């Protein structure tokens, strides 16, 4: 994904969860379906998968140095970041919190 495409997608949706990963990250492989399921369940968040190996410009622009990294964007601005070790419960609470603020 190119930087311009990433920025366009951020501009098209009020709530975006960017899932930043690499193909070799085993933790990412286990976590990804759980995050997708959570996003689908809530129904208001746009999910973007970002392979940091294929998109180094985007990763560099958003200071992504470790995977998995999940970044929550509200109206195109980063509001919260989860990296490496985090709870799905904490992630869900933040998603609901920002979702409720926008609704």
Name all domains of the chain by residue range, CATH numbers in brackets: 3-102 (3.40.30.10)
Render pLDDT for 41-68 as a digit per residue (tens, 0 to 9).
Answer: 999 999 999 999 999 999 999 999 999 9
The pTM assigned to this predicted structure is: 0.94
Confidence of residue 10 (pLDDT cuts 50, 70, 90): very high
Q: What are phi and psi of 83, to 5 degrees?
A: -135, 145
User: Rounded distance, CA 93 to CA 60, Å?
Assistant: 28
User: Rounded distance, CA 68 to CA 66, Å?
Assistant: 6
């Amino acid at each position: 994904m190119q930087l311009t495409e990433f920025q366009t997608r951020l501009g098209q949706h009020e709530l975006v969860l960017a899932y930043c990963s690499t193909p070799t990250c085993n933790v990412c492989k286990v976590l990804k379906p759980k995050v997708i399921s959570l996003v689908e369940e809530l129904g208001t968040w746009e999910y973007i998968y970002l392979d940091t190996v294929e998109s180094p410009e985007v990763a560099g622009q958003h200071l992504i140095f470790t995977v998995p990294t999940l970044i929550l964007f509200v109206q195109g601005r980063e509001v919260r970041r989860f990296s490496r070790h985090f709870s799905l419960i904490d992630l869900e609470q933040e998603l609901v919190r920002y979702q409720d603020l926008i609704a």
